Structure 1
Amino acid sequence: MNIDFHVHSILSKKLEFDSELFLQGIEYAKESGLNAFVLCEHFNAVDLMSIYSYLRNNYKYQGDRYLVNGFSVFVGMEVDIKNGGHIIVCGNRDSILKIRERLEFHIKRSNFIAFEELLDIGEKYECLMIGSHPYRPKHKLYLQPLNLLARLDALDLNTKDIYKRGLEIVEEEVSNLSKILNIPYVTGSDTHYPIQLGTVRTCFEAECDTIKDLKECIRNKNFKIEVSKALKLKVYSAKITKNNIKKLKKNMKEDFKKE
């Protein structure tokens, strides 16, 4: 099973969920050789609950994932933590809703949840927890205490970081931290627009239907990592398209207000 552990379904956390774009993303992911992804919208995205409702109302839920036109969608959130860093929390759909409720008091930057508290919650619900882009300049997860980082299931080898700084540099940083913590690293495209899907993928030897399956395969390192040779072109194309669509939506809203 080929999976992407870091996927967003909307262009920006300030915009609404677009089911048509989501379904186009599913088809593009399939054509790009993916069989599954973790849908981990930002926990403070304005339309987060619409995504969960859309999936629940339209698709079969089997194991711990939705089956969307033959494609596996695991659900989660990308959570900001106090003192810097993002954590992907992926779990059973009911567990994710309960965790989101717990995070309602931690929406604003001034009150982001403490790393240790989030780890405690995630472990309580037996979630898969991944440290997002640990060396990104604006989200320096690697500066968090090592004993807390070691409680994560994996680190994130992230497409956007590879695009900006190069695969060799980024993978060396993530790999070194992985060795220090004695936890593996997996891949995340960090896409907000479908063209970026397939730039990286984690290829498991087995099919995974549950969070337990994912955690076990990661822990046992039963996978290999693949990085697309067309990564830079795909990321650039996704970035330009995303920005143009956001500008178009903004202009449409301004024109509507003038009428």
Structure 2
Amino acid sequence: MMNLDLHTHGKLSKKTHFSLDYFAAMTAEAIENGLNAIALTEHFNTLNYTDMLDQLDAAFAYQDDYYDVDGLKVFTGMEVDVAERGHILIIGNRLYLRDLRQQLEPYSEKGSFIPFSELMDRTEDAPVLRIGAHPMRESNPLTQYAAEQLLRLHALDINAKDLYQYGPGMADQVRQLAAEIGLPACAGSDSHQPLQFGSVWNVLERECRTAAELREELQSGRYSAEISPCLSVKVKAAQMMKELLKKTMTVE
């Protein structure tokens, strides 16, 4: 069995520098909340994405598709903006992600993001897990895509920030959308701040070591997406702390 959060961040915001100390606080809180694994899906166009991987490489052992951080599996990933609006989580091996990040360099700025179909084409044959992030969020939805396009994803994201903003009924809406398309719906906290961990998570029936294994477990239905009764308190506290910290941390 494996308790896994499939949508997390290692930085407070895109404009802050990556800090191993801050990351350590994130992972410690994840462990404290009973998680065995997280997917580190940092924004692809965050400040110095590859520097983050360089620091993690120097600090932690890496095997299969994850870093071992004090017993916590940290699967590598990225969150990619697409041209027609929406964000896609790509979880896979660090070497593949470095190469993909380089491919996406011309698409880094708003107004020049990669088209959805092109991102799917580029990652189609790779052993990755592709998740449609916060698919019903008003600012970055995925509902404008045809079902046959969304079916190229492997899952949709039940996002803790959206459950807080729109209410717990959002989970049912995402599950319904996923069912209509023929996809699983999995949980992601979207944590940028430690206090948000434990707001939502997935319970997988077996321990996984690669993104391909994660994809197999989700698509086979051998998991459950769990929502904490304390979700609202966790997300609200995390958002308040994030705003306070942004006033004190160095940004570019």
| Equivalent residue, structure 2, for 1:17 | 18
Q: Partners of 1:166 and 1:41 in 2: how far apart?
A: 25
Q: TM-score w.r.t. structure 1 length?
A: 0.94
| Equivalent residue, structure 2, for 1:34 | 35
| Equivalent residue, structure 2, for 1:140 | 141
Runs of 4+ displaced beyond 2 Å: none
Is the counterpart of residue 242 in structure 1 residue 242 in structure 2? yes
Deviation of 1:140 after TM superposition, in Å, equals 1.6
Q: Partners of 2:124 and 2:98 in 1: how far apart?
A: 15
| Equivalent residue, structure 2, for 1:73 | 74
Q: Tell me the percent identity.
A: 38
Which structure 1 segments of 5+ residues have no match?
254-259
- Residue by residue over 1:79-121, the C-alpha shift from the partner in whole angstroms, topping out at 9 and shown as x without a partner, is 0001110000011111111110110000111111010110111
What pairs with 1:214-233 in structure 2 (closer than 5 Å)? 214-233=214-233
Q: Partners of 2:37 and 2:186 in 1: how far apart?
A: 14
Whichever residue aligns with residue 161 of structure 2, its letter is: K
Higher helix share: 1
| Equivalent residue, structure 2, for 1:86 | 87
- Residue by residue over 1:38-81, the C-alpha shift from the partner in whole angstroms, topping out at 9 and shown as x without a partner, is 10111110121121111111211112111111110001110000
Which structure 2 segments of 5+ residues have no match?
none
Whichever residue aligns with residue 150 of structure 2, its letter is: L
- Residue by residue over 1:112-146, the C-alpha shift from the partner in whole angstroms, topping out at 9 and shown as x without a partner, is 10101101112232210000000101102111122
Whichever residue aligns with residue 88 of structure 1, its letter is: L
Q: Partners of 2:113 and 2:125 in 1: how far apart?
A: 19
Q: Partners of 2:57 and 2:21 in 1: how far apart?
A: 16
Whichever residue aligns with residue 78 of structure 1, its letter is: E
Contact 2:16 2:249 in 1 (8 A): no
Whichever residue aligns with residue 193 of structure 2, its letter is: Y
What pairs with 1:55-134 in structure 2 (closer than 5 Å)? 55-134=56-135
Contact 1:16 1:46 in 2 (8 A): yes
Please state whether the residue corresponding to 2:76 is helix, strand or coil.
Answer: strand
| Equivalent residue, structure 2, for 1:256 | none
Q: Partners of 1:48 and 1:97 in 2: how far apart?
A: 9
Q: Partners of 1:28 and 1:219 in 2: how far apart?
A: 28
Deviation of 1:249 after TM superposition, in Å, equals 2.8
Q: Partners of 1:96 and 1:249 in 2: how far apart?
A: 27
Alpha carbon RMSD of aligned pairs, Å? 1.1
Please state whether the residue corresponding to 1:66 is helix, strand or coil.
Answer: strand
Contact 1:75 1:92 in 2 (8 A): yes
| Equivalent residue, structure 2, for 1:8 | 9
Deviation of 1:34 after TM superposition, in Å, equals 0.5
Whichever residue aligns with residue 217 of structure 2, its letter is: C
Q: TM-score w.r.t. structure 2 length?
A: 0.97
Contact 1:13 1:45 in 2 (8 A): yes
Contact 1:13 1:47 in 2 (8 A): no
